């Protein structure tokens, strides 16, 4: 963080009242006048010799020098009358903002001395009222009056003056107990201790101790040179409603009546609330009348999500997620957004969901810059060029690699990834969150990076520490190209990831979000899965009268088995038991033992995407690279293709390869596919998904199915596909079956 330049830094200290200047009258504390005179008598706040030399006026003081070449001179502007912070309203906070506006060009920064009870509300409100702020505005106060022998007022006020005078932090901040917080992230948590404030979901911008430590990466950056803009029009008809167990719907109805225009709804946990139908109907009716309802958790830390059915039920009523905003920030944001003229209801909802002043953690972080050309990239390149095989070198590199690989993948930096590959690095490494580079690339929607990582043999179904797969991250980001690549490589959503998919599909259907439904369908989700109330997406769309969504769901339902083969349903055996496969196996008598369905690329085969035109009767020539020497006379490959942005059915490719060992095996392979697959021209083969040896000569095979019902085989591993090549073993040998259809 750059320090403020110039020999003199001039500040305006606006004294509005509060405990810091209070005096005891009749046994109670009341606002005390004449704060400037009190500070003048304290050497830590005023250098009288310097002031006389400069002939400063009575209301202007100067701090003792922190450095020999810079002074902080501050003027105390005392309100008449002084107010207890409990009496502060939006009108007074707008008045503070207008005071800053009038003196904006005369001073380098501003300190607002305010009572602690509503200081977090004031800081949040000022952060929205003051737009294009390029100078520090720091609020502070005290738990104990500055006149007391043991108090916190001196340190708090001195710290605020030093931070505003010596550092360029263009934000509305709150300084208390040696910490500088972003104003709209702070909340009061203690009525007696000196550490009265905290910032639950954002670290302090600065910490004062023997040294002043600035968290530079957290400080808001100045965007352009636009003049300061004060938004004095705020909507007063906003409120806060805290849910509690068993809250009557009649109380909610009474609270949401006219003239209320916006409400912060404090909910349980991660944004949950009662699912009592009458209460939900009251919220839905209020949203329908144009009342903006902002969903904020009453927990001190954490964010609002729709992970639970109770939270999804609230979201379906039209609530806007408040993410991790404090109640103070949410109320201020509502007043600001509703006070803006010329905006539609959807525009206002969009503004509420956006991070405007750093008040909330954005849902999607901006793509990281490329490693190439950056100072870090150059230093890493120099580090990699060192020929050092010491244990220290290897330890440092092992620590750096996960972060570098994930950063390059998140930025879609193919050159950086290739540079890591050329060093012999294993890109399947995990970072401290258990995420692989494939997770990072899928989250950011970089199809090129995803394709490259898949070619390197990355585990397409890897799970991070939260149990999330790259496919689910791509679904959340609605990256359809990435979803197609992952599905073609064999990716599937786990039962845990699909547990609440029905509720999410119902939510999308209620909002006529066709794109969201198509994304889940493309990822293999069952569109008929019911939500928390037993209804599925189609039923929700029909009850809502969304004919377009109904048509879409009906069309997708008809194409699901051909275009989007979904994950296998949980088998009836329960956790820990092997799924059962029913398959027609040509030429097989009594089968004894376990079988496996080949769905992932074995270690000896490296999948290589090849371009091919899918035409009826035409042959293609894909190349199969073996990681280890491999001998066989024939092979069977299961593959997937992507055409026109949609996955095609699995098809069987059969051919022969030359006998012998070699790093690369190639052969003309004849294509066998269902008719609907051949209709799509210009399709692109994206992944060779499985490899299987030829049938053992010791086993009799034929094209005719065996008499009697299909044999029931138990899989030795998880079954993640509904069709493919079934490799099996019995007491006499091994065998195989083409197009073995089954379920688990």
Domains of the chain: 8-230 (3.40.50.1170), 238-353 (3.40.50.40), 374-499 (1.25.40.20), 501-560 (1.25.40.20), 580-737 (no CATH)
Helix (H) or strand (E) holding 314: helix 309-315
The answer to the question of whether 599 is labelled as a binding residue is: no
Q: Where do the DSSP E strands lie in 223-352? A: 229-230, 238-242, 262-267, 292-297, 320-321
**Among the listed ranges 228-237, 300-309, 515-524, which one has the minimum average pLDDT value?**
300-309
**Banded pLDDT at 176 (limits 50, 70, 90):** very high
CB of 201 within 8 A of CB of 185? Answer: yes
Q: What percent of the chain has pLDDT over 70?
A: 68
Q: Which residues of 412-437 are buried (b: 16+ CB within 10 A; e: fewer)?
A: bbbebbebbeeeebebebbbeeebbb
Asked if 116 is an active-site residue, the reply is: yes
> Rounded CA gap, 441 and 407, in Å?
9
Max avg pLDDT among 479-483, 642-646, 683-687: 479-483
The answer to the question of whether 117 is labelled as a binding residue is: yes
In degrees and rounded to multiples of 5, residue 638 shows phi and psi of -105, 130
Q: In this predicted structure, what is the pLDDT of residue 24?
A: 82
> Rounded CA gap, 11 and 135, in Å?
10
In whole angstroms, how large is the CA radius of gyration of the chain?
33
711: Cα within 13 Å, side-chain hemisphere: 23
Tokens of 29: 């504390």
Q: What size, in residues, is the chain? A: 744
CA 334 to chain centre: 23
User: What angle is formed at CA 372 by the lines to CA 370 and CA 373, rounded to 5 degrees?
Assistant: 110
Please tell me whether residue 381 adopts helix, strand or coil conformation: helix
Q: In this predicted structure, what is the pLDDT of residue 181?
A: 98
Look up residue 151 and give its DSSP letter.
-
Q: In this predicted structure, what is the pLDDT of residue 69?
A: 76
In degrees and rounded to multiples of 5, residue 257 shows phi and psi of -75, 160
> Rounded CA gap, 188 and 689, in Å?
57
More confident: 529 or 666 = 529
Helix (H) or strand (E) holding 335: helix 327-339
Q: What is the mean pLDDT of residues 630-649?
A: 33
To the nearest 10°, report the CA torsion of 336, 342, 348, 350.
-120
Tokens of 737: 């079956």
Counting beta carbons within 10 angstroms of the beta carbon of residue 664, is it exposed (0 to 12), middle (13 to 18) or buried (19 or more)? Answer: exposed
**Banded pLDDT at 586 (limits 50, 70, 90):** very low
Helix (H) or strand (E) holding 557: helix 547-563
Q: In this predicted structure, what is the pLDDT of residue 554?
A: 86
Of 122, 164, 155, 159, residue with least CA distance to 12: 164
pLDDT averaged over every residue in the chain: 75
Of 184, 223, 249, 16, residue with least CA distance to 110: 16
The answer to the question of whether 426 is labelled as a binding residue is: no
Max avg pLDDT among 52-61, 619-628, 677-686: 52-61
> Rounded CA gap, 55 and 94, in Å?
33
**Banded pLDDT at 553 (limits 50, 70, 90):** confident
Q: Per-residue pLDDT for 440 more than 60? A: yes
Q: Across the beta sheet with 206-208, what order do the strands follow?
A: 60-62, 71-78, 8-15, 109-113, 137-140, 172-176, 179-182, 206-208, 212-214
**Banded pLDDT at 169 (limits 50, 70, 90):** very high
Residue 428, Ramachandran bin (φ over 0: left; ψ between -120 and 50: alpha; else beta): alpha
Max avg pLDDT among 37-41, 373-377, 739-743: 37-41
Max avg pLDDT among 325-329, 410-414, 429-433, 570-574: 325-329
Max avg pLDDT among 101-115, 357-371, 387-401, 475-489: 101-115
Please tell me whether residue 179 adopts helix, strand or coil conformation: strand
Tokens of 354: 């956006």
Please tell me whether residue 36 adopts helix, strand or coil conformation: helix
> Rounded CA gap, 121 and 184, in Å?
8
- Please tell me which residue in 116, 327, 503, 720 is annotated as part of the active site: 116
């Amino acid at each position: 963080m750059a320090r403020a330049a110039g020999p003199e830094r001039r500040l305006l200290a606006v004294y509005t009242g509060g405990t810091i200047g209070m005096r005891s009258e009749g046994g109670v504390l009341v606002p005390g006048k004449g704060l400037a005179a009190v500070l003048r008598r304290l050497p830590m706040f005023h250098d009288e010799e310097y002031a006389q030399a400069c002939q400063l006026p009575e209301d202007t003081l100067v701090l003792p020098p922190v450095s020999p070449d810079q002074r902080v001179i501050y003027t105390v502007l005392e309100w008449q009358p002084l107010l207890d912070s409990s009496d502060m309203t939006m009108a007074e906070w707008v008045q503070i903002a207008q005071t800053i506006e009038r003196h904006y060009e005369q001073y380098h920064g501003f300190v607002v001395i305010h009572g602690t009870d509503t200081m977090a509300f004031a800081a949040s409100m000022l952060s929205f009222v003051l737009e294009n702020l390029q100078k520090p505005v720091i609020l502070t106060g005290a738990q104990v009056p500055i006149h007391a022998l043991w108090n916190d007022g001196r340190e708090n006020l001195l710290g605020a003056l030093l931070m505003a005078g010596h550092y360029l932090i263009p934000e509305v901040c709150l300084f208390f107990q040696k910490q500088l917080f972003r104003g709209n992230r702070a909340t009061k948590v203690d009525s007696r201790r000196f550490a009265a404030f905290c910032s639950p979901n954002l670290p302090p911008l600065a910490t004062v101790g023997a040294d002043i430590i600035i968290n530079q990466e957290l400080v808001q950056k100045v965007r352009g040179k636009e003049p300061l803009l004060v938004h004095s029009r705020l909507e007063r008809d906003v409120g806060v409603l805290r849910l509690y167990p068993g809250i009557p719907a009649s109380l909610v109805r009474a609270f949401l009546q006219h003239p209320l225009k916006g409400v912060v709804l404090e909910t349980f946990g991660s944004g949950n609330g009662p699912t009592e139908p009458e209460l939900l109907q009251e919220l839905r009716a209020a949203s329908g009348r144009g009342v903006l309802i902002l969903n904020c958790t009453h927990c001190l830390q954490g964010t609002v999500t729709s992970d639970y059915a109770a939270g999804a039920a609230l979201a379906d009523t039209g609530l806007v997620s408040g993410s991790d905003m404090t109640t103070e920030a949410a109320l201020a944001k509502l007043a600001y957004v509703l006070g803006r003229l010329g905006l539609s209801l959807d525009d206002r909802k969009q503004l509420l969901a956006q991070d405007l002043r750093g008040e909330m953690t954005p849902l999607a972080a901006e793509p990281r810059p490329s490693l190439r050309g950056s100072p870090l990239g150059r230093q890493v390149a120099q580090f990699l060029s060192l020929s050092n095989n010491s244990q220290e070198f290897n330890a440092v590199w092992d620590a750096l690699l996960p972060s570098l690989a994930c950063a390059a993948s998140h930025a879609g930096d193919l050159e950086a990834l290739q540079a890591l590959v050329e060093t012999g690095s294993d890109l399947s490494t995990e970072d401290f969150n258990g995420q692989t580079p494939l997770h990072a690339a899928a989250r950011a929607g970089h199809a090129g990076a995803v394709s490259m990582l898949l070619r390197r043999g990355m585990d397409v179904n890897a799970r991070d520490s939260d149990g999330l797969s790259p496919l689910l991250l791509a679904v959340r980001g609605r990256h359809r190209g990435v979803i197609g690549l992952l599905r073609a490589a064999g990716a599937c959503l786990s039962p845990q990831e699909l547990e609440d998919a029905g509720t999410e599909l119902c939510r999308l259907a209620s909002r006529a979000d066709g794109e969201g439904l198509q994304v889940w369908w493309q990822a293999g989700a069952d569109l008929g899965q019911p939500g928390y109330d037993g209804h599925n997406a189609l039923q929700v769309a029909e009850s809502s009268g969304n004919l377009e969504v109904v048509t879409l769901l009906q069309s997708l339902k008809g194409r699901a088995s051909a275009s989007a083969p979904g994950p296998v349903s949980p088998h009836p055996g329960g956790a820990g038991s092997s799924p059962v496969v029913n398959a027609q196996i040509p030429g097989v008598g009594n089968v004894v033992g376990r079988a496996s369905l080949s769905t992932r690329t074995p270690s000896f085969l490296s999948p290589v995407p090849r371009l091919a035109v899918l035409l009826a009767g035409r042959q293609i020539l894909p190349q199969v690279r073996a990681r280890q020497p491999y001998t066989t006379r024939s092979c069977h490959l299961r593959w997937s293709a992507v055409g026109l942005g949609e996955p095609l059915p699995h098809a069987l490719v059969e051919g022969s390869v030359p006998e012998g060992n070699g790093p690369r095996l190639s052969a003309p392979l004849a294509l066998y596919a269902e008719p609907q697959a051949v209709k799509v021209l210009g399709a692109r083969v994206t992944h060779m998904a499985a490899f299987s040896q030829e049938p053992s000569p010791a086993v009799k095979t034929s094209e005719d199915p065996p008499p009697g019902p299909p044999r029931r085989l138990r899989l030795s591993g998880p079954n993640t596909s509904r069709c493919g090549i079934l490799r099996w073993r019995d007491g006499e040998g091994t065998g195989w079956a083409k197009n073995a259809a089954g379920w688990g």
